Structure 1
Amino acid sequence: MREWLINRLQIPQRAVLNRKIPKKAFFTQADLSTTEKEMFTSQIEGIFLLSVMNQQSMNIPIYQDDEFNYAEVVWIYVELRTDKNINRIIGAVHKSIPNPVVLIVGSSEGQILLSTSHKRLNKNDKTKVVVEQPTITDWFNPREENTAYSNLLNSLVVSYLSFENLHSIYEDIHQWIICEELIQLIGTIPTSSDNRKEAVNIFSNVQKHRKEVEQLQQEQKGQLDFGAKMDLHMKIKRQEQQINTQLQQIKELC
C-alpha cells in the first residue's frame, strides 16, 4: 500500500524515504500517557516515514512568522492491527511530531483515512508547538476509481499543490481534507482550488447552522409548553432551510 500511495500521489522520489520508524521513538518525542503507549504497542502494526518535504528535497521555501515555523512537511503512514481508539492514536501521532504531519492510516482491510493538524508556536515557549484539533476523513478504499474519493486523491497529487512555501502546501492539503466531509453530505467535492475556498467558507456556515439546530433540538426536548415547543420547531425549520440552501450552493461549486 505504501509504495502504491507514493506513486498515486506522485510524491517526488527525492522527497521519498519510506522507512520504518521504531514505535519507541514516539515515546521519547512526546509526553504520551501509559494508555497511549499501550495503544501504540498493541494496535499499531508499523509506523513509516513516507516522505519529508523541505527546502532541500522539494525546493519549497520555509515559512516562519509569529504563529508558525514550518521547515518541513512530514508524511507518515500508520498500519493498524485494529481501528479501536483510532482518534486517540491519530492525536498521539500528531502531538509526537513537532513538524506538520500528513497522516495516512491504513486498515487491515485495505482502507485508509487521512488526517492533518496545523501546529502553532507556543506563545510562552517558541521551542514548543500547540497542536490543533486534527481533521480526519472517513475510511475509504483508495483503489476504487471514478469516485469522489478518487477525486480527492487526484486533488492531493503533489504537483497540483501550492508550492509558494511549506505552510501553503500543507494548508492546501489541509483544506482538501476538510472538503472530505462534503463527500458525506453531498457526495462530491469542488473541482478547483478557487471553488474549494468558496465551498469551505459556505460549509463553515453550514456547520454553524447544524450546531444551532442541535442546540434548539435539545432545548425543545426540555420544553413542556406547547406554544414554546412550536416556536422552537419553527426556528429549527428555518435553520434547516438555511442548511439546504447552502448545501445547494456548495453543489453548484462541485
Structure 2
Amino acid sequence: MALIEDILEVPKDCIVDSVIPKKEVFEAADLNTKDKRIFTDLIKQIKWCYNFTEDNVRVDKFIDKERRYEEVELINITLKYDNVHKIDFGKFKEDDKIDRIADIVMRFIPYPIILTIQYDNELKFYAAHIRESKADYDKIVIEGKILSTNWMDIDNLNEIEDDFISKIQFDNLNRTDFYKFYNTYFEAVVQHDGAIMAGGTVNLSVEEIKKIYDEISILDLKIKEIEKEISEENNFNDKMELNIKAHRFKEEKEMLLNELKGE
C-alpha cells in the first residue's frame, strides 16, 4: 500500500488505485539504457493513487495561453527496499538516481503532479509547475526546477514536516481552479524547504522564499563543483585560489540564510 494513502484525507471519488507498468514509461518516455536501468534497479512499483478532476472535486479547469490545468494527479513510487542504501539521516546513496526518476515521471505525465517517492516508512514529495511546449503542443515543459522536500519519517514527523502535511490535506487546498489547487501544494513545498534551510518558521512571502532558495541552490552547485576541482588539483597556488573562491560562495550562502531567518 502506498504510504501517502494513510496520511492524506482525500474524497473516495478521487481514488484510482492503479499500477502504472514500468514498461509503459520506458516506451512512452523513450528512455535510454541508463535510465531504464535506474527504473529497473530501484523501482518496485509506480502507483496512480488519486485523480482530481472537475467532476469529482468540483474544481474549475484553468486554461490560458501557456497552461492547461484540467486535472491533477497524485503518483506514488515505491522503491525496492534492498536496492536503496541509507548513508545518513534522510540521505541515501542513490539520491541522485531517485531525483532522476522524479524528473522523468514528472515530464512523462502531461498533467500537474503531486509526486511522492516512498522508501519503507519514509516519503519525499516533489512539485513543479508546468506549461505547454511551444515546439510540441503534445508535450509539457517544467517551469524552473523540480522542487522536493526532505525525506520524512512519517512515524516521527518534526514540527516543520507536520505543518507541511497539514497544509497539503485536501480540505486545505484552494479549490477555485486547478492552477490554484496545485499551487497550494507547490507553495507548501516552497515554505517547507525554506523552513528546513532556516531551521524554523520563515516570515517571508512564498516568492521571497523561492528566490532565496533558488539562489542558495545555485551556490550549492558552484560550491560542489569547486570542491571537486580542489580535490583534483595538485598545484598549491591554484588550489588556494579555488579555496578562496569556495569561501566567497559560502559567505554569500550564509548571507542568504540569514536573510531567510530574518536576521
TM-score bracket, normalised by the shorter chain, equals 0.7 to 0.9
Give the match's secondary structure for 1:127. coil
Q: Is residue 116 from structure 1 mapped to residue 116 from structure 2 by the alignment?
A: no
Distance 2:160 2:126 in 1: 17
| Aligned residues of 1:30 and 1:97 also touching (Cα < 8 A) | no
Matches within 5 A, 1:1-254: 2=2, 5-81=4-80, 82-83=83-84, 84=94, 85-107=97-119, 109-132=120-143, 133-190=145-202, 195-204=205-214, 244=254, 247-251=257-261
| 1:26-45 per-position Cα deviation (integer Å, ceiling 9, x unaligned) | 22332222222232223211
Distance 2:72 2:61 in 1: 10
Distance 1:61 1:130 in 2: 22
Quickly say closer, same or farther: Cα 1:87–1:7, change in 2 above 3 A: closer
Distance 1:120 1:171 in 2: 13
Distance 2:227 2:256 in 1: 20
Quickly say closer, same or farther: Cα 1:148–1:126, change in 2 above 3 A: same
Quickly say closer, same or farther: Cα 1:252–1:155, change in 2 above 3 A: farther
Give the match's secondary structure for 2:18. strand
TM-score by length of 2: 0.75
| Aligned residues of 1:54 and 1:73 also touching (Cα < 8 A) | yes
Listed as ranges, the gaps of 5+ residues in structure 2 are 85-93
CA-based RMSD: 3.5
Structure 1 position 104, deviation (Å) = 0.3
Amino-acid identity (%): 22
Distance 1:214 1:32 in 2: 28
Give the match's secondary structure for 2:66. coil
Distance 2:236 2:153 in 1: 44
Distance 1:60 1:161 in 2: 11
Structure 1 position 211, deviation (Å) = 7.6
Give the match's secondary structure for 2:75. strand
Distance 2:14 2:111 in 1: 15
Give the match's secondary structure for 1:67. coil
Distance 1:250 1:44 in 2: 36
| 1:227-252 per-position Cα deviation (integer Å, ceiling 9, x unaligned) | xx7xx97x998987775565445335
Give the match's secondary structure for 1:78. strand
Distance 2:19 2:258 in 1: 45
Quickly say closer, same or farther: Cα 1:154–1:190, change in 2 above 3 A: farther
Distance 2:117 2:255 in 1: 34
Structure 1 position 74, deviation (Å) = 0.7
Structure 1 position 46, deviation (Å) = 0.7
Structure 1 position 47, deviation (Å) = 1.0
TM-score by length of 1: 0.77
| Aligned residues of 1:17 and 1:52 also touching (Cα < 8 A) | yes
Quickly say closer, same or farther: Cα 1:185–1:32, change in 2 above 3 A: same
Corresponding residue for residue 90 of structure 2:
none
Distance 1:30 1:12 in 2: 31
Structure 1 position 208, deviation (Å) = 6.8
Quickly say closer, same or farther: Cα 1:211–1:111, change in 2 above 3 A: closer
| Aligned residues of 1:14 and 1:57 also touching (Cα < 8 A) | yes
